[in-house]
Amino acid sequence: MTSPTVIFDLDGTLLSTSADLMASLNHVLAHSGVAPVHYQDMTWLVGQGARVMIERAHVLRGHPAGESELAGLMDMFIAHYGANMPGETVPFPGILAALDRLEADGMRLAVCTNKTESLAVKLLEGLGMAGRFAAITGGDTFAIRKPHGDHILRTIEMAGGSPRHAVMIGDSVNDILAGQNANVPTIAVPFGYSDRPVEEFNPTVVIRHFDELDAGLIHRLIAAVDA
């Protein structure tokens, strides 16, 4: 039997990244001469990649930015965020032990994030985690990205896995929609960046802590699809 592929979202799922994202976003906002955002704003700003985050933050502060302005602000964000990494970013409680358990069971691990791929890889490398993943794809890896189901399907393909034996784990509506679009079971975590309760997205299951994530859960979810 093909070994299962477990696909993780990055921001708000594997890693608690909001402090560093917010510091770099506020650096950009200061350049635009607008007031900084606060932590509670991040639940709405994160999830569609840095460009959308910058765009939304400017709208939030009543200073909409045009296309060419956004391109420059994005470069500024990438330079600041990339230079300060891994900063205060840390893995969420229990995730490293959970990855160990899945690996020990022979599962393939992958990352499917809307973050810019080079930033995602650099961040995971900085935390010594990149080598665990058979594939790391970002919001700019393909022409499409989450919530498009193909972002997940192509990540599974790059990891050498099978879409019939895969599970997507994420914190935002995009992750759960992408899983549903790809026809793979979904696990939602409630501790990431979502402005709505994750239950509203109808994930297959919700886990409150990574202590609940083990090979048994992944096998049960995959078996339920085959049934």
Catalytic residues: 9
Binders of ligand PGA among residues 155 to 174 (CB under 6 A) are 172
CB of 192 to Mg ion, least distance (A): 5
Contact between 53 and ligand PGA per CB under 6 A: yes
Residue 105 annotated as binding site: no
Binders of ligand PGA among residues 81 to 140 (CB under 6 A) are 113-115
Among residues 107, 91, 111, the alpha carbon closest in space to that of 152 is found at 111
Contact between 47 and ligand PGA per CB under 6 A: yes
Residues 6+ apart with CB under 8 A from 114: 47, 48, 49, 138, 139, 145, 146, 174
**Cβ atoms within 10 Å, residue 196:** 11
CB of 11 to Mg ion, least distance (A): 4
Contact between 172 and Mg ion per CB under 5 A: yes
Question: Of 139 and 165, which has the nearer Cβ to Mg ion?
Answer: 139
Residues 6+ apart with CB under 8 A from 153: 163, 182
- Which of 4, 5, 6, 12 is in the footprint of ligand PGA by CB under 6 A? 12
**Looking at the DSSP assignment, which residues form a beta bridge with residue 168?**
7, 186
Asked if 146 and 11 count as a contact pair (C-beta separation under 8 A), the reply is: no
Question: Of 19 and 224, which has the nearer Cβ to ligand PGA?
Answer: 19
Question: Residue 4 touches which of Mg ion, ligand PGA, none (CB < 5 to 8 A by kind)?
Answer: none
Distance in angstroms (rounded) separating the CA atoms of residues 118 and 82 = 9
Contact between 55 and Mg ion per CB under 5 A: no
Where b means 16+ CB within 10 Å and e means fewer, 36-69 reads: ebeeebbbbbbbbbbbebbbbbbebbeeebeeee
Contact between 12 and Mg ion per CB under 5 A: yes
Residue 211 annotated as binding site: no
Residue 100 annotated as binding site: no
Question: Of 172 and 180, which has the nearer Cβ to ligand PGA?
Answer: 172
Question: Of 49 and 161, which has the nearer Cβ to ligand PGA?
Answer: 49
- Which of 4, 6, 9, 121 is in the footprint of ligand PGA by CB under 6 A? 9
Distance in angstroms (rounded) separating the CA atoms of residues 158 and 96 = 22
For 103, phi then psi, to 5°, come to -60, -45
Using CB under 6 A, list all residues that contact ligand PGA. Answer: 9-12, 46-50, 53, 113-115, 172
Residue positions forming the annotated binding site = 9, 11, 171
Residue positions forming the annotated binding site for Mg(2+) = 9, 11, 171
